[in-house]
Structure formats: C-alpha cells, structure tokens
Amino acid sequence: MPYAERTAAMKTSEWEKRVQRAARLGERLACAQEVLAFYGEVLKLQQRIFNEISAEPVTESDAPIVQRLRAVDAARHLPALLALAEQRGPARLAEEARAIRGESAEQQNAMLHGFLEDDSEHAFFARALLQPYAERLTSALPPQPFQGDSFVCRLCGSRPQAAVLRPEGDGGKRFLLCSLCLTEWEFRRILCPICGEENHRHLPRYSAEEVDAVRVEACDTCHFYLKAVDMTVDGLAVPLVDEVATVPLDLWASEHGYKKVVANLMGF
C-alpha cells in the first residue's frame, strides 16, 4: 500500500478513537459532560469529512500547507456544521451559526480564508472544517526528520494545542500537538514553547487528582501555558480529546494569570 494511503487509513482509525474517547470521558467526568457531548458530535462530523476526502487522491505539491488549504472546498460542509451548532451547540455558537447562515457564499469562504490569515472571527467554524483537510494533507507527506526544537508546527506553521508525553525507555519523550493539522513533533521537556525559557524554576506544573494524566505546564516568564497529556500515566488517553475534557485546569490557569497558547476547538 502506498505511503499516503497507509497513513490515511491510520488517521481514519485515529478519528474513531477520538470519537470513542469523547463518549467515554463524557460518562466519567461530570464537569465536562456538556462540552464533550457537543464535541463528540463535532468529532463525528470531522470524521465523516476526513473519510470522504481520504477517498480522493492528494495532488503532490511543494506549496505550503496553509496555501493548499486556501484552495480546498471546505465550505461544502459548512451547512452541516451550522446545523449541528444550532441544534446541539452552546447559545453563543448557535447564535453565531444563524448569523453565518445569513451570509453570502463569498462571505463564508472569506471566513475560512480569514482564519488562515490569523483572523479569529468565527474561529470555531473555520477550524472545525479545516482540521480534517489539514490532517489529510499532512498525512500524505513523508516523515519529517527531527531537526531540533521548533516553536511552531513544521508542516503548517501553527502553534501547539497541547503537549504529549509518550513512553520511551524508563521515562517519557515530550511532543507538541499542532492546533490545526494535529501533527506531533518532538520538543524538549524543560523548555517553554512560547518564549524559550529553560530554567525549570520558571516553568511550574499543576495537576488535579481527578485527572492525574493531564496537567498545566506554565511559564512564569511569558505567562503562557498549555496542557500536557501524560501517556505514561494513562495509555488510553487521546491527547486531542483529553485536552478538551479537562476544562477545570483551564479555569485554574486563567484564575492564576496564565494565558493559553491556543484555545482548543471548544474555546477553552
């Protein structure tokens, strides 16, 4: 099986794991049931989008991923996402969805392109639609060799959504999870991914007993934080989903003056 087809099949399996994990955590974590119920439906829609576009060949190109994303027809899935937000989403998103529905096709396309230009307006809708496309495009690329710590994704240039600690030997190796294309890349454990602070005294970590596999990794120099999902503690964790499920950690970090590197798809 060609590399691109093999990796697409693997990513299809990843989407199924994300959907299932959201359902399981929703049953277990009372504090996140409402968020995860909606997020689970969003994941199912993203999974359908990914499966659909995986059946289509990816044209080889040397163009940057963000440039290639500008050419995709993600807007064709917008009506389904708007309906989902109106029917199952929080009041804020439902109102936003109704406003977007009233816009022209040109305005809706401009919303998607604006997100790629770092415009946060209607970020949920643009990001929810573009994530499957970005992951599909990057899954067709050959593996990237490790070339030292990068503060942004080498494939699409986006900031990290979370850190992931994966088992290696007697410990764990740290990776960063891209907020757009969902690629992971290796990153030093004692290093702030925003300002480059290396002094461990300025890089506090905070966790809660009820979610011991997820913690806040903060920086007292730049006052940014992200959450880390420790797969050495819970091997069944799905970083993208577990990050969303641990809302109390985000609230704690905000109350203590830290700002998140990138808000997750649910806005936390």
| Predicted confidence (pLDDT) at residue 71 exceeds the cutoff of 60 | yes
Label residue 118 by pLDDT band (50, 70, 90).
confident
Least confident among 93-102, 137-146, 191-200: 137-146
| Predicted confidence (pLDDT) at residue 5 exceeds the cutoff of 80 | no
Partners of residue 215 on adjacent β-strands: 207, 228
Q: What is the DSSP letter of 149?
A: -
| Predicted confidence (pLDDT) at residue 195 exceeds the cutoff of 90 | yes
Q: Residues of 76-105 as b/e, b for ≥16 C-beta within 10 angstroms? A: ebbeebbebbeeebeeebbebbeebeeeee
**pTM for this one?**
0.93
Q: How far apart are CA 182 and CA 163, in angstroms?
A: 12
| Predicted confidence (pLDDT) at residue 1 exceeds the cutoff of 80 | no
In this structure, the chain runs to a length of: 268
pLDDT in the model for residue 2:
55
Contact 35, 244 (CB under 8 A): yes
